[in-house]
A and B are shown apart, each in its own frame.
Chain A
Amino acid sequence: GAGVSQTPSNKVTEKGKYVELRCDPISGHTALYWYRQSLGQGPEFLIYFQGTGAADDSGLPNDRFFAVRPEGSVSTLKIQRTERGDSAVYLCASSEGTAYSPLHFGNGTRLTVT
């Protein structure tokens, strides 16, 4: 079946611009996660949704970052006033939502801020 889909696969933007990154989770998965992976590093947690609500947003680095999941399926990660340090691969994952459910990751969106 279809896996987690992330669009776009690549995004180049200028410093100071606004960007939106989209994640389509596996159908029926109630939990959705956003991670950020910088070059040579492991993924870092940003935010976790259970259904429509953000259950844990402790990983968002500052108030320029925001994410929504209005209907409990597709999620959008929004970054305002982008900075060069925001350049990274942004990963989305979904799961069935129980404690031991494996996370299924998308291929990520590579964001480059020039």
Chain B
Amino acid sequence: AQSVTQLDSHVSVSEGTPVLLRCNYSSSYSPSLFWYVQHPNKGLQLLLKYTSAATLVKGINGFEAEFKKSETSFHLTKPSAHMSDAAEYFCVVTSGNTGKLIFGQGTTLQVKP
């Protein structure tokens, strides 16, 4: 069965410093992996997706993630945090080929001025 584990429930950074949100996955076959962001009172928005092409995936708003099969990881990074990045972030893996998504528990990103 497919699953993801987000290693930190809460991450706090200062504005302008790098962001690292960690995610490990478990999959019985080559997975499709995603990061979604959820701002308060707004719908989930796709940040980026990995679908077995390039292992370094670039997304919106300066975020990127690297697929590392040897470490079963798909960590999300950004070189410099903005206040507007404060939100809940979900690491997601697909289950089968139906597009059904399995979500991690989420990481709350706090950005301090």
Q: Could you tell me which A residues sit within 8 Å of B by CB distance?
A: 3-4, 31, 33, 35, 40-45, 48, 50, 55-56, 91, 93, 95, 97-103, 105-108
Contact = CB atoms under 8 A, between A and B. Distances in A.
A100 B98 contact: no
Interface in B14-67: 32, 34, 36, 41-46, 49, 51
Interface of B: 32, 34, 36, 41-46, 49, 51, 90, 94-95, 97-106
A102 B103 contact: no
Contacts, number: 64
Contacts of B90: 42-43
A105 B45 CA distance: 7
B100 A56 contact: yes
A102 to B, nearest CB: 5
Nearest to A93: B44
Given A42-B106, A99-B32, A102-B49, A48 B43 contact: no
Nearest to A3: B43
